[in-house]
């Protein structure tokens, strides 16, 4: 059975659109999955506050339709192109700034920021349920899995936070992101991702 459904919106509808920005002229004139959006209003809430819009950016937009255009009240970044699984670096939990550092390799860290309104928080012990309890309970050496995006300054804004409790030898280190530099070759070189430099050698498994 094939049943037709309306794909349009009527004026004054409150709607939520999620997808990729397919066309961008400026903040007052862009499309999300082909639907026209205006996010130029002075009171538009941006999550994170530093969000820069552009083609191929994945966003969620909430607002009201006027003359066929979604007038945004909130724009939230949805992309999660970064994943880190590592332990919390000693002495880096900063509740006032809402940040902590993860240490994928000894002496090399990545700063993670928790967004009070958008970070999805999960904890194996159910001790952590919100940003307040997160910073009251997060400890040096905790094994954390974070998914999120680079805010442009090298800080990772967490879309998802998950604290787990494996034994030390079971804590896999994962760093997923854009390669920023390489040296040498596949047998005696390095690969740098999110500012963390990993050595590679003849035993390294490369996948594409």
pLDDT tier for residue 169 given thresholds of 50, 70 and 90: low
Per-residue pLDDT tens over the stretch 127-157? 888 999 999 999 999 999 999 888 778 899 8
pLDDT tier for residue 95 given thresholds of 50, 70 and 90: very high
Residue whose pair of structure tokens reads 């879309």 in the numeric block: 159
- β-partners of residue 103 are 87
Determine if residue 12 is left, alpha or beta; phi over 0 gives left, psi from -120 to 50 gives alpha, anything else beta: left
Residues with Cβ within 8 Å of 3's Cβ and at least 6 positions away in sequence, in order, are: none
Looking at residue 179, its pLDDT comes to 87
Cβ-contact 63, 93 below 8 angstroms: no
Looking at residue 164, its pLDDT comes to 86
Quote the pTM value.
Answer: 0.67
Closest CA to 110 of 59, 164, 174, 58: 174
Check whether 6 has a pLDDT greater than 70: no
């Amino acid at each position: 059975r094939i049943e037709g459904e309306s794909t349009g919106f009527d004026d004054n509808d409150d709607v939520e659109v999620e997808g990729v920005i397919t066309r961008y002229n400026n903040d007052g004139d862009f499309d999300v999955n082909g639907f026209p959006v205006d996010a130029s209003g002075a009171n538009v809430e941006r999550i994170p506050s530093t969000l820069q819009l552009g083609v191929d950016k994945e966003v969620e937009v909430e607002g009201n339709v006027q003359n066929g255009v979604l007038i945004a009240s909130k724009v939230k970044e949805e992309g999660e192109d970064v994943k880190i699984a590592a332990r919390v670096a000693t002495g880096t939990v900063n509740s006032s700034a809402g940040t902590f550092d993860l240490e994928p390799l000894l002496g090399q860290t990545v700063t993670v920021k928790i967004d009070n309104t958008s970070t999805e928080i999960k904890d194996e012990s159910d001790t952590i349920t919100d940003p307040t309890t997160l910073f009251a309970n997060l400890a040096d050496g905790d094994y954390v899995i974070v998914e999120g995006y680079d805010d442009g300054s090298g800080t990772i804004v967490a879309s998802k936070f998950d604290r787990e409790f494996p034994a030390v030898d079971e804590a896999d280190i994962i760093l997923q992101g854009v390669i920023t530099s390489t040296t040498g070759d596949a047998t005696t070189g390095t690969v740098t991702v999110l500012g963390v430099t990993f050595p590679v050698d003849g035993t390294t498994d490369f996948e594409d």
